[in-house]
Chains A and B, each alone.
Chain A
Amino acid sequence: MVGLSVENLVCVRGERTIFSGLSFRLRGGDALVLSGRNGAGKSSLLRVLAGLLPPAGGRIAWEGTDVGRDKDAHRAHVRFVGHADAVKPALSVSENLYPWAVLWGGRAAAAERIASALDHFGIPQLGETPGRWLSAGQRRRVALARLLLAPAPLWLLDEPRTALDTDAAARLDSAVERHRKGGGMVVIALHEGARPPGALPLDLDTLRAAAC
């Protein structure tokens, strides 16, 4: 069974066609790395896959059924880490994560899930620290810790290594690795640095060159 399949996807922002004729398939354990210059449509593609941005054409199917049919169900399959960290300065790190832990995984053992997610990203000591005292890298770690609060089959990561040091980048790689071993799928937009092992490459620049 194919997990996520994308056929002839077209994305239009304003008057401009960002990409068209995009097709790929992802099975459990697959990773797709998006590359391309700035403005090539990496973020737009991730937002389309998340169900935030409606595609201008084409079809996205989850386990063979069109995601347009039940959009709320599709959005629940997705964890998205975008450019914004969604960390509130007035709340402590665990208070920041608590609503998401409950929203995605229910109230059971929410505090434990938050603690283990913070632990994985190497910031267990920051649980009570207000968001306003965090550095950019620490805020990014909190945003990534959100991935581990509750399982979701599809991770969409938009330049996840921004502001991360080598330690945090390694922790992110191991989280992605574990997610893939558990049968999860991941789509990452990456500018530079090592790609996850066995990742499928997708260069949006060549796609546009083919479309023109």
Chain B
Amino acid sequence: MLSGALALIHREIRLAVRQGMDSFMAIVFFVLACVLFPLGIGPEPQMLSRIAAGVICVAALLAALLSLDRLFQADFEDGSLEQMALSSMPLSIVVLAKVAAHWLTTGLPLIVAAPVLAVLLQLDVQAYGALLAALALATPSLSLIGAVGAALVLGARRGGVLLALLILPLYIPLLIFAVAAIDAAALGLPVRPHLLLLAGVCAGALALAPGTAAAAMRQALA
């Protein structure tokens, strides 16, 4: 079963690399959205450093959302998903493998790009560690919760918009805790409680999301 899951992750990453646009676009969107803020509200360092944490987190969240509607849709349309459903491997493991691949191709590049944008947005230097830690804990949850939404909108018309409406409210706790962690670090306050809350959300999503997404997927496949 492990080798099957690894083969699926390998396939997803290969697909993401070959047809590169999807994950590449998410990263470009992330960078552009962050760059727009200094252009829109002016280059005052104090103003920028106050909003930096929020801007980076919101942009990362929207960038993840942008890449989610293709997570299952392409495999659903070409019949790959029903082939995956017909194996001894539970569908929730299939979901988990696809989420892992999604995180590796979207979440990880977002984490790598974030410090560069933090420089641009004048984020306080002592908050960089918290920024990376918060994103490292929040991006897996973005992929996991997003997978539930992506599975629910399979086969729906205008799935992309519906997906945003379904998923954005669920992303709010992640946004609040991530921004709180980064702001706390900038002010020299303890970061740990906020990171623990993020880790808690991540653990909850890891336990609940694969099964929920698999159930939604079964509905779409019937």
> Contacts of A88 on B, CB cut-off 8 Å?
15, 78, 80
Selected from B79, B84, B90, B222, the residue in CB contact (under 8 A) with A103 is: B84
Segment 113-162 of B: residues with Cβ below 8 Å from A: none
> Contacts of A62 on B, CB cut-off 8 Å?
none
Task: Return the CB mask of B80-91 against A: 1 if under 8 Å, else 0.
Answer: 101111111110
> Contacts of B112 on A, CB cut-off 8 Å?
none
Selected from A47, A73, A86, the residue in CB contact (under 8 A) with B83 is: A86
Structural contact, B88 and A91, CB atoms closer than 8 A: no
Answer yes or no: B7 CB below 8 A from chain A CBs: yes
Structural contact, A75 and B85, CB atoms closer than 8 A: yes
Question: How far does the alpha carbon of A98 sit from the alpha carbon of B79 in the complex, in Å?
Answer: 16
Structural contact, A85 and B79, CB atoms closer than 8 A: yes
Structural contact, B4 and A102, CB atoms closer than 8 A: yes
User: Shortest CB–CB separation between residue B4 and chain A, in angstroms?
Assistant: 4
Segment 7-51 of A: residues with Cβ below 8 Å from B: 47, 50-51
Answer yes or no: A99 CB below 8 A from chain B CBs: yes
Nearest to A51 among chain B residues (CB) is: B86
User: Shortest CB–CB separation between residue B204 and chain A, in angstroms?
Assistant: 24
Structural contact, B78 and A50, CB atoms closer than 8 A: no
Known contacts A85-B78, A86-B78, A90-B18; A100 and B83 CB within 8 A of each other: yes
Question: How far does the alpha carbon of A17 sit from the alpha carbon of B54 in the complex, in Å?
Answer: 54
Question: How far does the alpha carbon of A52 sit from the alpha carbon of B19 in the complex, in Å?
Answer: 30
> Contacts of B11 on A, CB cut-off 8 Å?
91, 95, 98-99
Nearest to A90 among chain B residues (CB) is: B18
Structural contact, A102 and B7, CB atoms closer than 8 A: yes
**Residue in A50, A51, A84 whose Cβ sees the most chain B Cβ within 10 Å:** A84
Question: How far does the alpha carbon of A72 sit from the alpha carbon of B10 in the complex, in Å?
Answer: 23
Total residue contacts A-B, CB cutoff 8 A: 80
Answer yes or no: A107 CB below 8 A from chain B CBs: yes
Answer yes or no: B172 CB below 8 A from chain A CBs: no
Structural contact, B85 and A52, CB atoms closer than 8 A: yes
Structural contact, B222 and A47, CB atoms closer than 8 A: yes
Selected from A73, A78, A82, A91, the residue in CB contact (under 8 A) with B15 is: A91
Question: How far does the alpha carbon of A104 sit from the alpha carbon of B3 in the complex, in Å?
Answer: 10
Selected from A53, A75, A98, A107, the residue in CB contact (under 8 A) with B222 is: A53
Question: How far does the alpha carbon of A102 sit from the alpha carbon of B14 in the complex, in Å?
Answer: 16
Interface residues of A (CB under 8 A from B): 47, 50-54, 72-73, 75-76, 78-80, 82-88, 90-91, 95, 98-100, 102-104, 106-107, 146
Give 12 A-B pairs besides A75-B88, A102-B6, A103-B84 with Cβ atoms closer than 8 angstroms. A47-B222, A50-B82, A52-B85, A75-B87, A76-B87, A85-B79, A90-B19, A91-B14, A95-B11, A99-B10, A100-B83, A103-B4
- Can you identify 20 A-B contacts, CB atoms within 8 angstroms? A50-B82, A52-B82, A52-B85, A53-B222, A72-B90, A75-B86, A82-B82, A83-B79, A84-B77, A84-B79, A84-B82, A86-B78, A86-B83, A87-B78, A91-B15, A102-B3, A102-B7, A103-B4, A103-B8, A103-B84
Question: Which 5 pairs show the lowest CB-CB distances between chains A and B?
Answer: A84-B79, A76-B88, A102-B7, A86-B79, A90-B18
